[in-house]
Amino acid sequence: MEATHYKLVFRFHETVFCGFFLLVLYLNVVELLYVTFSGNGFFGVLREFTMDLETGNYQNLVKKESWRTVLTLAYQSLGVVYGDLSISPLYVYKSTFAEDIEHSETNEEIFGVLSFVFWTLTLIPLLKYVFIVLKADDNGEGGTFALYTLLCRHARVNSLPSCQLADEDLSSYKKDIISPAPSTFGASLKSTLEKYRVLQRFLLVLSLLGACMVIGDGILTPAISVFSAVSGVELAMSREHHKYVEVPVACIILIALFSLQHYGTHRVGFLFAPVVITWLLCISAIGLYNIFHWNPHVYQALSPYYMYKFLKKTQRGGWMSLGGILLCITGSEAMFADLGHFSQLSIKIAFTTIVYPSLILAYMGQAAYLSRHHNIENDYRIGFYVSVPEKLRWPVLVIAVLAAVVGSQAIITGTFSIIKQCSALGCFPRVKILHTSSKIHGQIYIPEINWMLMLLCLAVTIGFRDTKRLGNASGLAVITVMLVTTCLMSLVIVLCWHQSVLLAVGFVLFFGSIEALYFSASLIKFLEGAWVPIALAFIFMIVMCIWHYGTLKKYEYDVQNKVSVDWLLGLGPSLGIVRVRGIGLIHTELVSGIPAIFSHFVTTLPAFHQVLIFLCVKSVPIPHVKHEERFLVGHIGPKEYHMYRCIVRYGYRDAHKDDLQFENDLVCSIAEYIRTGRVGLNEENEDLAKQCEGMVVVGTPSTHLDGIQVCEDEGANPEAAGTSELKEKEKQSPPVIKPRKRVRFVIPESPKIDRDARRELRELMEAREAGVAYILGHSYVRAKKGSNLVKKIVINFGYDFLRRNCRAPTYALSVPHASTLEVGMVYPI
């Protein structure tokens, strides 16, 4: 009677499982077809109207792509997005059966683990990320900071100090976002977030926590991936010897991996996708062989009933083993983080048609083999290579090492990207960012971070020397990032998608409870390796918070001590001093007013340049700023003062130009502003100009080819052109070897320029030919008298140490020392 009861229960759960699995597959097919032909998705029905406003010129969501483009992107995404996720079969079973549970004759443990792996892969990567999270992109970009900046634009919770109303008029900023109805929960939540600064800081800290865990994952993932791939040599030698081979070989591979980062991946990136595809086909083929050869009925273990049996038998040990099962979704966050390089449809196709089936077959094959082999020798333990046929182990080992390198490369590149975003948003000290490819977006290299990652990666590899503790550390970092994503997504559902709070609560309860279960299982192993990501996150969090706090306080001091324009106008056109030829480029973080450093110049220096440009280079909370919206240019005072303010806006994923190109674009944008003036501005731009001290949006020279262009001649004979030109009269050059560089503005024929504008352009041209001097402020930040002890430690020691050891601003990295003037100033904050 009892046997019949259990049989009926089993058949019931098996029926439920099959029905749910078919439903998931059906929704997946419908999603792909619907996205392809309509540009919307399954959850697009929930927010059809709001997403139209949010997408605007989204490239990744609604653009009509040909099947060739979609399939090409899907193929490329295999090597970039899924390298980390695809190598998880190397260490999942080995980490799960390390100590907490044992593989018994009843197979309840191995079948329970397989069931957990299957449903974890189905619910988290497939259901959560593919169906829901991928749709929360920020102008085509994904990741933790994409969610944060998306929230910043829907509710005024931005942490950047130099925000302007003009930033909201950027086409990518989405100023036409419809606010929720005043009576809805979304409206009250928005007003609450905007009212209380403590909630805004908590939201920022939550986002920084996710970023810190991503950096920690960038240290731990290469270590566990390469070490697990190399561990296959244990099957070819005795236990006494393989320990002395695994760690040195893994360290050599890691050193080579980090040493080659400065070359970039664009030269060998075309090999990444074939390597991952070969690896996925390899593990799926081995999985199919093991299923049919050892246990064709292993598919029954996919029923959720086996999870119940597993936990009932193993109890606390089974709960603790969830930290190893968690590793099967390592790399799932990359689907969202790397969204900017691909399209939603391409990532979905690659995952659902290749990655997901291959991983399921691989895990089922390992379980089928282990279900028929219970007395595995202790030398081999339970691992991936045990289930590989003996004749294929060495070829599979080589492919596994290559796949581990590809997966590690993806997470290293992602770490560089997240640090760049943190630095752009004022939450990380300035670092040297090198773009390794001029054609491929996002290929960057940060030397300081690269060598730091290498040293820490080698330290954890040598210190742990086993998959168990490396898995405990990596699992906690992975699940923490997913918990942060779940929390931010719940706010996006309410504030950005304007959906019911019940939907957001349901999202948090469903996915948050699953992730909280895994988080608790990982956190309980604090002393067995899980302390590493916590320690790393704590250190990086301290650095980020100190830098952000010091930067914010420094900006507040600048605002409070800026010089009024009335004081400047009282000095007269000559500013009370001699105006010499040339352009004085004064950097300031202020978007309005005159910085205090300028008054220091005027009162101490006997002369100054004939043209003064107050330059502010800032980041805005959007991924990219269009070139035609890059510059905000305006006069300071009357035109005869020859003083301009130029605000250069970059998105947090934009690449900053080098010094020479930036200088030419800056001068040309000011010349275009002088040429156009206020003529031809529409009413919207006139209102914007009034709000921003008469500043007008001017694009880069590449965006207005029919406008003014800057030309430089090395010789003394300027070329004659068909267009009208402003040229300086010939001057006799001294007998030097190198001729003097001459500058001219090429102006289009159609618009007529008045006499005042022509004179102003001539002054700017002469100043540009004379040269540009960069005036940079060298600040000494100190805590003011009466500050508490904590503030003195943070400012006088922490922030001062970071400031002295960080890089100079991007625009000043390649400025010649002969053209640079630094002025020191003490900031008592």
The predicted pLDDT at position 438 comes to 64
Q: Give the integer Cα–Cα distance in Å for 18 and 70.
A: 31
Lookup result for tokens 């990532």? 347
pLDDT: which is higher, 792 or 662: 792
Residue 107 DSSP code: -
Range 540-545 average pLDDT: 94
Whether the per-residue pLDDT at 604 is higher than 50: the answer is: yes
The predicted pLDDT at position 575 comes to 62
Lookup result for tokens 């049989």? 7
At residue 449, the 3 state secondary structure works out as: helix
Q: Give the integer Cα–Cα distance in Å for 511 and 143.
A: 18
Mean pLDDT check: name the lowest of 20-34, 71-85, 386-400.
20-34
Whether the per-residue pLDDT at 160 is higher than 70: the answer is: yes
pLDDT: which is higher, 737 or 185: 185
The predicted pLDDT at position 376 comes to 60
Tell which residue, 636, 689, 639, 695, has the closest CA to residue 669: 695
Range 681-700 average pLDDT: 52
Positive or negative, the Cα torsion across 119, 125, 129, 134? negative
The predicted pLDDT at position 379 comes to 42
What single letter denotes the amino acid at residue 201?
R
**Confidence tier at 690 by pLDDT (50, 70, 90):** very low
pLDDT: which is higher, 690 or 753: 753
The predicted pLDDT at position 491 comes to 92
* Domain spans of the chain, in order of start: 2-546, 564-715+741-828
Whether the per-residue pLDDT at 812 is higher than 70: the answer is: no
Q: Give the integer Cα–Cα distance in Å for 386 and 355.
A: 22
412-441 tens-digit pLDDT: 888 888 888 888 888 899 888 887 766 666
**Confidence tier at 284 by pLDDT (50, 70, 90):** very high
The CATH class, in words, for 2-546 is mainly alpha
Range 731-748 average pLDDT: 50
Q: How many CB atoms lie within 10 A of CB 176?
A: 8
Tell me if 477 sits within 8 A of 530, measured CB to CB.
no
The predicted pLDDT at position 368 comes to 93
Range 41-51 average pLDDT: 35
Greatest mean pLDDT among 52-66, 90-104, 649-663? 90-104
**Confidence tier at 68 by pLDDT (50, 70, 90):** confident
Q: Give the integer Cα–Cα distance in Å for 736 and 738.
A: 6
The predicted pLDDT at position 111 comes to 92
For 374, half-sphere exposure in the C-beta direction (CA atoms, 13 angstrom radius) is 11
545-578 tens-digit pLDDT: 999 999 888 888 888 888 877 776 776 666 666 7
The predicted pLDDT at position 592 comes to 81
Query: From the centroid of its chain, how far is CA 679?
Result: 40
Whether the per-residue pLDDT at 680 is higher than 60: the answer is: no
Q: Report helix angle 316-325 to 467-495, nearest 10.
A: 80
Mean pLDDT score of the chain, rounded to an integer?
78
The DSSP code sequence of 737-787 is: SSPPPEEEEEE-SSS---HHHHHHHHHHHHHHHH-EEEEEEEEEEEPPTT-
Range 597-616 average pLDDT: 79
Mean pLDDT check: name the lowest of 184-193, 547-556, 562-571, 693-702.
693-702
In whole angstroms, how large is the CA radius of gyration of the chain? Answer: 30
Tell me if 127 sits within 8 A of 604, measured CB to CB.
no
pLDDT: which is higher, 481 or 653: 481
Range 592-621 average pLDDT: 80
Q: Give the integer Cα–Cα distance in Å for 595 and 162.
A: 14
Tell me if 404 sits within 8 A of 226, measured CB to CB.
yes
At residue 715, the 3 state secondary structure works out as: coil
**Confidence tier at 117 by pLDDT (50, 70, 90):** very high
Whether the per-residue pLDDT at 238 is higher than 50: the answer is: yes
Q: Give the integer Cα–Cα distance in Å for 444 and 435.
A: 4
Mean pLDDT check: name the lowest of 478-482, 712-716, 771-775.
712-716
Q: Give the integer Cα–Cα distance in Å for 26 and 9.
A: 26
Mean pLDDT check: name the lowest of 205-209, 285-289, 357-361, 620-624.
620-624
Whether the per-residue pLDDT at 120 is higher than 70: the answer is: yes
The predicted pLDDT at position 119 comes to 95
Q: Which residue blocks in 265-374 are alpha helix, DSSP H?
A: 272-294, 305-314, 316-325, 334-337, 344-350, 356-370
The predicted pLDDT at position 129 comes to 93
The predicted pLDDT at position 435 comes to 76
**Confidence tier at 16 by pLDDT (50, 70, 90):** very low
Q: What does each C-alpha distance from 748 to 337, 671, 707, 709, 752 come to in angstroms?
A: 44, 12, 6, 9, 9
Residue 701 DSSP code: G
Whether the per-residue pLDDT at 57 is higher than 50: the answer is: no
Whether the per-residue pLDDT at 725 is higher than 70: the answer is: no
At residue 78, the 3 state secondary structure works out as: helix
Tell which residue, 568, 576, 643, 633, has the closest CA to residue 611: 643
- Percent of the chain whose pLDDT exceeds 90: 25
